[in-house]
């Protein structure tokens, strides 16, 4: 008969942290959330670390270039979704890398014969007030001038006014050649009190624009995650089918980290993918693998060459793999077993392979529970889908704002590669749903609040770093009754339905 585990698999909600001794210097502002992202040998420093232990999920409804930029500003990494064309994914990677370099490819461009109405429509679409006027209206056409909000007054100008009549012409612009470094460009901006500096190539063609706001952004985001060229770090999803074509394109575009996106990672297809990457790139290209839920799965991927291993099957908010196939494991139990296997593997081999907990996060405190159980970092989908920066629509439903959120195993995503079992190239049945999540506002504000809770809880456990938390943390199982006790109970809430006069 089948092997049956004697203990039930458990979720994060079934555990609580027991407070430890808190020293006087153990205060939230002293807590470091820096964490390893890729494997390293004992005594060495990992090639890639994050300043916060959060990454965004490899999903169409979560991670595009806008999300990647916003999360990198806070110190985390987004994995651009791989269920799109190779060219499209590579273009998203390129936009992220170009953005932080300061040399931004203009996405607001018009011809001189267009009108003020076109300028306003473009502003509404992109949110940008600086518009490049080029000969052909393209991002790389011959630059003829710039239009900013200072060049027009909507209340005093007809909408049909031609752009040529109110632009700041090229002759009055301060520009710089393509050979200009970012430091030189920022010096020019400050010396001349500019908001934007056009960077030109041959024949007066626009190449990039450097903005003053990007310099200010660095000062406002001290935890931002940058590469050696001061560009934002970005990850990308790949699959076990077209990796021979996709990986080279993503590496060429500048991806810092890859991850095989699969619902189940204990397979020959993942091993083949990892071996191909190692054969063609050695250890230069970093690639994670998964997902697994036990010791055997972790050891398989670690020995196959994974730089990190993702843990979790069926625990995502939109995942119905457990319902459809009866496969998976409670996220807490899976994480505990894999973390133990990771530590044993480190002791035996001297190689530390970080693990990423993927799924099962319902409340902010679950992040701290997962870290205490051994996760090096967490991959979140629903959490990030709620924010302005996710690529989905914000809708008003019955007076409340929501954002669309769908699984990669849903018919909407049609990401059959994620659930590939070596058969037909199609999605035979759904393993994800199409849904909505409550709109939560800006990523920056929400991540700051979540991490404030994590830091505070770590101090309650007497820990100033994630490794120290894992060493000192004491966890206890909770009963269903104590879960009820942990929330508001036996009172009438002022803002609840019971408080309304009858």
Write out the catalytic residue numbers.
Answer: 319, 418
Integer CA distances (angstroms), 481 to 18, 52, 484, in order: 18, 34, 5
Q: What is the 3-state secondary structure (H, E, C) of 370-394?
A: HHHCCCCEEEECHHHHCECCCCCCE
- What is 32-83 written as a DSSP string? ---EE-S-EETTSPPS-EESSSEEE-S-TTT-SHHHHHHHHHHT-EEEE--S
Instruction: Check if the beta carbon of residue 52 is closer than 8 Å to that of residue 77.
Output: no
H or E element that contains 324? helix 321-325
Burial (Cβ within 10 Å: 0-12, 13-18, ≥19) of residue 287 = buried
Distance, in Å, from the CA atom of 294 to the CA atom of 340, rounded to the nearest integer, reads: 10
Q: Which two tokens stand for residue 436?
A: 């909505």
Q: What is the 3-state secondary structure (H, E, C) of 96-109?
A: HHHHHCCCECCCCE
Instruction: Check if the beta carbon of residue 289 is closer than 8 Å to that of residue 318.
Output: no
């Amino acid at each position: 008969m089948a092997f049956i585990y004697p203990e039930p698999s458990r979720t994060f909600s079934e555990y609580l942290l027991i407070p430890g001794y808190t020293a006087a210097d153990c205060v939230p502002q002293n807590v470091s959330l820096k964490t390893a992202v890729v494997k390293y040998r004992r005594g060495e420093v990992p090639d890639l670390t994050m300043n916060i232990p959060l990454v965004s999920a490899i999903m169409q409804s979560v991670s595009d270039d806008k999300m990647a930029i916003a999360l990198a500003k806070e110190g985390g990494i987004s994995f651009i979704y791989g269920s799109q064309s190779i060219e499209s994914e590579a273009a998203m990677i390129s936009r992220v890398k170009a953005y932080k370099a300061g040399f931004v490819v203009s996405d607001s461009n018009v011809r001189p014969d267009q009108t003020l109405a076109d300028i306003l429509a473009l502003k509404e679409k992109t949110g940008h007030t600086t518009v490049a006027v080029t000969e052909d209206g393209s991002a790389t056409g011959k630059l003829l001038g710039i239009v900013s909000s200072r060049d027009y007054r909507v209340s005093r100008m007809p909408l049909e006014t031609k752009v040529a009549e109110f632009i700041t012409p090229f002759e009055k612009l301060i520009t710089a050649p393509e050979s200009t470094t970012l430091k030189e460009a920022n010096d020019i901006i400050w010396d001349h009190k500019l908001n934007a500096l056009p960077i030109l190539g041959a024949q007066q063609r626009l190449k990039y624009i450097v903005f003053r706001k990007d310099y200010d952004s660095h000062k406002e985001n001290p935890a931002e995650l940058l590469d050696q060229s001061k560009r934002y770090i970005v990850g990308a999803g790949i699959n076990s089918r077209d990796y021979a074509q996709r990986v080279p394109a993503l590496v060429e575009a500048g991806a810092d980290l890859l991850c095989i996106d699969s619902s189940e990672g204990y397979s020959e297809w993942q091993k083949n993918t990892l071996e191909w990457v190692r054969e063609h790139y050695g250890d230069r290209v970093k690639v994670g693998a998964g997902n697994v839920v036990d010791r055997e799965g972790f050891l398989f991927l670690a020995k196959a060459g994974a730089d990190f291993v993702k843990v979790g099957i069926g625990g995502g908010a939109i995942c119905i793999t457990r319902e459809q196939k009866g496969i998976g494991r409670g996220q807490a139990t899976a994480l505990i077993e894999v973390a133990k296997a990771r530590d044993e593997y480190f002791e035996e081999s001297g190689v530390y392979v970080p693990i990423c907990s993927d799924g099962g996060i319902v409340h902010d405190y679950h992040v701290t529970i997962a870290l205490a159980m051994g996760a090096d970092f967490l991959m979140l989908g629903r959490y990030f889908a709620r924010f302005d920066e996710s690529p989905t629509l914000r809708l008003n439903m019955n007076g409340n704002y929501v954002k669309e959120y769908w699984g990669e195993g849903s018919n909407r995503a049609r990401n059959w590669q994620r659930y590939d079992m070596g058969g037909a190239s199609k999605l035979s049945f759904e393993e994800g749903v199409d849904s909505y999540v409550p709109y939560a506002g800006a990523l920056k504000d929400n991540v700051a609040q979540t991490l404030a809770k994590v830091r505070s809880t770590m101090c309650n456990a007497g820990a100033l770093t994630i490794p120290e938390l894992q060493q000192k943390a004491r966890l206890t199982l909770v009963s269903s009754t104590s879960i009820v006790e942990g929330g508001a109970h036996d009172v009438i809430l002022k803002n609840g339905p019971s408080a309304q006069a009858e």
